[in-house]
Structure 1
Amino acid sequence: MRYFPLMVDTKDKKVLIVGGGKAAAIKIQGFIDSSFLFYCLAPAFCDDLIALAGTYPERIFLKEKKVDADFRFFAYDYFIVATDDEALNAALLRRAKAASVPVLSTSDPASSDFHMASVLRRGPLAVSISADNPTVSKYVKADMEEFLSRYDEEKLFEMNRIRRLLVERKSAHISEIMEELWNDEKISKNYGESFDET
């Protein structure tokens, strides 16, 4: 598997996006549940991107600027190339790779360093779905949403809390305790409180 799903810390990470059209808006919308900060450069911005920036003014920053193939960038953790000029996209992709900045190109996904997956959340549980075909992703995501709805969010949060307490206290047999809790139909509040007291 070439593109392997990973969980990365997005806190205080900056993403530079060159392009102000639908492709840029779709990529930002796909990452909006992260903590990324988005800096977008383009001569003009589509309505969807302007609306997104209006909804998240503390995280999405738009600057009207024409970028050419000689554009130099630094201090960004990730780079998304999303213009409608394929020659410019290719030049910026090469520049990002030379600068060792992970890059995603909307016009050349095969040369990208990372891809975007759909993410579903159920309490503390996160599941990612990735396919080369957006239609497949859409239907699998709908099926997974229905499947995940069977899990009790409160139980998932409580299990995570209890495991953190067990790890902090260097308890023995953590895996066995967690297995036992998973098989309980519902973790009683008393069970969690007993860890708080010890």
Structure 2
Amino acid sequence: MKFYPINLNLRDKKVLIVGAGRVALRKFKRLLQAGAQIKITSPEFNQEFLPYLNQESEKYIFLKRKFRDEDLNGRFLVFAATNNSELNRRIAFLARKKNILVNTADNAEISDFTLPAIVNRGELLLTISTGSSLPALSKNIRKKMESEFGIEYQLLLDIMSGNRGNMVENIENNQLRKNIFRKIAADDFLIKIRDIIDNYDSQILANDNYNLKKSEYLALKEEIKKEITYLIARTKNNQNLEK
């Protein structure tokens, strides 16, 4: 294994991106979702940055100029994403001297880390990496996983994030609690969630529409909560019958 897998908490961490092409844009969008404080320096910006350039935000700053050494000051991560390999190498060298982790878009060998392909369903984050040997394979695997892991995982984890604490507190029997969690995480329960979604609106599954309107999402959550409540009661009753 060439790389050590790790999930970083980048909320409010200062990150620098040098370059503003399509590669930089992808990195920017993912960093924005992670809550990082982003600075981008580049003489030119890809037109897809335009919506962000036209609005102010506390989360990012764009500097339309060439990279300066002092841009590295106080940064937690650096992405060298220019179309100039020599500049990317220089940024990597300077960042390493300052003990800043760096990723270069065109050279994994001089990078401290690489970015895997991801499938994101709310709190479920699946990553795929081929060690930079064949990124196209990572993309193919990601597409397969996108169809296999749907919105049911997002809904279930969203519900459990708000209810797990209460379940732990209210179900004193340790073995019963484990049994309930296993049943909630089992394939047949996830299939049941898909059936609920399908009965509610089959197009949600057919179109991979994971950006539901708030009212739709809340309605689905309530239906699934009822199923979880029923499952907990049934599991408790079964255990009492076994005594």
Unaligned ranges ≥5, structure 2: 193-223, 233-243
The whole-number CA distance in structure 2 between the counterparts of 1:84 and 1:123 is 33
Aligned residue number for residue 38 of structure 1: 38
CA contact (8 A) 1:163 1:178 kept: no
TM score, norm. by length of structure 2? 0.66
Higher relative contact order (CA 8 A, sep 6+): 1
Q: CA deviation at 1:79?
A: 0.3
Q: 1:95 to 1:150 in 2, by over 3 A?
A: closer
Deviations 1:7-66 (A, max 9, x none): 211210121011233332232234443212221112222223334544784433210222
2:143 maps to what in 1?
A: 142
Amino acid aligned to 1:103:
V
Structure 2 residue aligned with 1:110? 109
1:7 maps to: 7
> Partner residue of 2:100?
101
Query: Could you tell me which residue of structure 2 aligns to residue 159 of structure 1?
Result: 160
State how 1:172-191 maps to structure 2 within 5 Å. Answer: 172-173=174-175, 174-183=177-186, 185=189, 189=226, 191=229
Paired residues of 1:119 and 1:127 also in contact (CA < 8 A)? yes
Question: Is the CA contact (8 Å cut-off) linking 1:5 and 1:128 kept in structure 2?
Answer: no
Counting only pairs closer than 5 Å after superposition, residues 17-32 of structure 1 correspond to structure 2 as 17-32=17-32
Q: What is the CA–CA distance in structure 2 between the aligned matches of 1:37 and 1:169, rounded to whole Å?
A: 40
State the structure with more CA Rg: 2
Structure 1 stretches lacking a partner, 5+ long: none
Matching residue's letter, 1:78: L
With over 3 angstroms needed to count, the CA separation of the structure-2 counterparts of 1:152 and 1:72, relative to structure 1, is: closer
- Equivalent pairs counted in the alignment come to 193
Evaluate the alpha carbon distance shift between residue 182 and residue 85 of structure 1 in structure 2; reply closer, same or farther with a 3 A threshold.
closer
Q: CA RMSD in A?
A: 3.0
